[in-house]
């Protein structure tokens, strides 16, 4: 595979197997011919839709072979990109290159990030799935759909008009012994209030939670287990406290109101 060396104006050169190529011509059928930057050399690459189609010729010159330490550094980069997936690729590049320069000085030309970019991102893509561009493209792996008892947890996956995911286990709902109550509009309203807590300003959350919780327990004492669970997990827990799940400040199109 080749790497494009980009400037702000777009790709200006291609690096492929230790040689550089410049764009010679673009054909009407969509293919592009890149020729070796060594003027006396007739080697060329034919590329269509960013895929290398044909490699022509043998180079009649020696190329700038990188030293063993550079090859090892690039190899280290490629491995680190896959083993340390939570670290940004540019940061890994900068750290490894700065260590290399400290140990080897700055005399030797080191490949610029742009030359390695596509290789490193492709390497990382082999261990990480692609980020979805929209909620519709979000794929839920099986491990997130089942619970530890291998019971289905995803009971709702509505695609349109907006993606809505709902998770609950049927066994847990049955244990609450509240199927009749769940049909009541007043219960549905209070449950919706609890589910909407992330949308409230953070200083209103605790009061709103207690209002909804009290209403539910008054309707049926069996709601106490559910209310206690929500309180323990999302209100008082230092791990998932409201600061972590509050979305009030990330809502971009909030209905405007004069009420303060």
Q: What are phi and psi of 106, to 5 degrees?
A: -110, 10
Shortest Å, Cβ 12 to Zn ion = 17
CA 103 to mean position of chain CA atoms: 34
- Nearest distance from residue 61's CB to Zn ion, in Å? 6
Q: 63: which 2 tokens?
A: 């190329």
Measured from the Cβ of residue 165, the count of other Cβ atoms closer than 10 Å reads 14
Q: Which of 38, 44, 193, 215 binds Zn ion (CB under 5 A)?
A: 38
CA distance 61 to 256: 69
Per CB under 5 A, does 33 bind Zn ion? no
Q: Does 43 bind Zn ion (CB under 5 A)?
A: yes
Closest CB to Zn ion among residues 39, 256: 39
Q: What share of the chain is helix, strand, coil (3-state, %, to 5)?
A: 45, 20, 40
* Residue 41 near Zn ion by CB under 5 A: yes
State the Cα–Cα distance between residues 196 and 151, nearest whole angstrom: 26
Q: How far is the CB of 73 from Zn ion (least distance, A)?
A: 25
Q: Does 216 bind Zn ion (CB under 5 A)?
A: no
Least distance (Å) between residue 20 CB and Zn ion: 9
- Taking the least distance from each CB to Zn ion, the nearer of 115 and 120 is 115
Binding footprint of Zn ion on the chain (CB under 5 A): 36, 38, 41, 43, 59
């Amino acid at each position: 595979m080749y790497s494009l060396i980009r400037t702000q104006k777009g790709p200006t050169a291609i690096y492929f197997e230790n040689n550089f190529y410049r764009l010679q011509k673009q054909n009407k059928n969509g293919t592009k011919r890149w020729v070796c930057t060594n003027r006396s050399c007739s080697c060329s690459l034919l590329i269509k839709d960013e895929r290398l189609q044909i490699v022509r010729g043998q180079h009649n010159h020696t190329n700038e072979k990188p030293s063993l330490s550079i090859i090892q550094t690039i190899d280290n980069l490629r491995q680190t990109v896959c083993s340390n997936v939570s670290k940004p690729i540019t940061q890994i590049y900068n750290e490894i290159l700065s260590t290399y320069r400290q140990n080897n000085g700055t005399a030797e030309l080191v490949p610029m990030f742009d030359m390695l970019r596509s290789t490193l991102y492709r390497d990382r893509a082999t261990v990480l799935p692609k980020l979805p561009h929209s909620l519709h493209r979000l794929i839920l792996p099986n491990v997130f759909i089942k619970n530890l008892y291998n019971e289905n947890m995803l009971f709702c996956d509505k695609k349109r008009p907006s993606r809505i995911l709902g998770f609950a286990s049927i066994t847990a709902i049955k244990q609450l012994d509240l199927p009749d109550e769940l049909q009541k509009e007043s219960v549905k309203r209070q449950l919706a209030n609890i589910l909407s807590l992330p949308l409230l300003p953070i200083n209103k959350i605790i009061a709103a939670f207690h209002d909804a919780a009290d209403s539910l327990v008054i309707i049926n004492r069996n709601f106490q287990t559910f209310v206690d669970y929500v309180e323990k997990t999302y209100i008082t827990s230092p791990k998932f406290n409201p600061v972590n799940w509050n979305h009030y400040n990330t809502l971009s199109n909030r209905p405007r109101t004069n009420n303060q």
